Copies of this chain bind each other. A is one copy, B any other.
């Protein structure tokens, strides 16, 4: 499931993505102890990039360190996804308000371009189209945060709120969901273009609440099937 056409990645980034992915898919279990040695053996890399990846994942809250040499996969609360969506709603609604005031024509053009590409992939014909949609969606949201012109905000989203994997793991959005999502995006762009901060914020809020509801539902369904 490691994407087929990764762009060139250096060892540290590889380590970061692989470990993160393994945590989110459960291949590395919650609370499991991690050692640099084992990981570097498993991934065929030296300890240095592993160290750096672990450092980053620790900052992001995926990995926890005890007092001594003990490093464990973090324990995630059951309502992890809801928590993240709530925080995203907080941050992204604020972002889109700023974006409505501060977005440049280039920002808006970029949003339009992403949106157009997403429309062309809907409904998704195959798995690849699905992947593209997910990536484009991430970029759409990221573009809005960037358009808010607050470096702190950007760092925030990049660091602690990237739910892509969580969502990707659980999500099977129906065609109806996708269409609604696209409509939201369309309306968000219009609101930004109009400089209507509150409008933009409201529709973003709805967008994320809808997304959260879908994800929570999917998680529940998945859990049920396991029994």
- Inter-chain contacts of A160 with B (CB < 8 A): 152, 155-156, 159-160
Contact string against B for A residues 86-129, beta-carbon threshold 8 Å, 1 for contact and 0 otherwise: 11001100100000000000000000000000000000000000
Task: Name which residue of chain B comes closest to A12, CB basis.
Answer: B55
Contact status A161-B151, CB under 8 Å? no
Q: At the interface, is chain A mostly helix, strand, loop or mixed?
A: helix
**Contact pick for A61, options B77, B83, B152, CB 8 Å:** B152
Cα distance A14–B61 in the bound complex, in angstroms: 22
Cα distance A156–B59 in the bound complex, in angstroms: 9
Task: Name which residue of chain B comes closest to A89, CB basis.
Answer: B94
Cα distance A56–B74 in the bound complex, in angstroms: 19
Cα distance A91–B149 in the bound complex, in angstroms: 18
- Residue A153 is within 8 A (CB to CB) of chain B in the complex: yes
Cα distance A52–B55 in the bound complex, in angstroms: 8
- Inter-chain contacts of A218 with B (CB < 8 A): none
Contact status A59-B61, CB under 8 Å? no
Residue pairs across A and B with Cβ atoms less than 8 A apart, 23 shown, are A52-B52, A55-B55, A56-B59, A59-B59, A60-B159, A61-B151, A61-B154, A61-B155, A74-B151, A76-B151, A77-B149, A80-B152, A83-B150, A83-B153, A87-B91, A87-B94, A87-B152, A87-B156, A90-B90, A90-B91, A155-B159, A156-B159, A160-B160
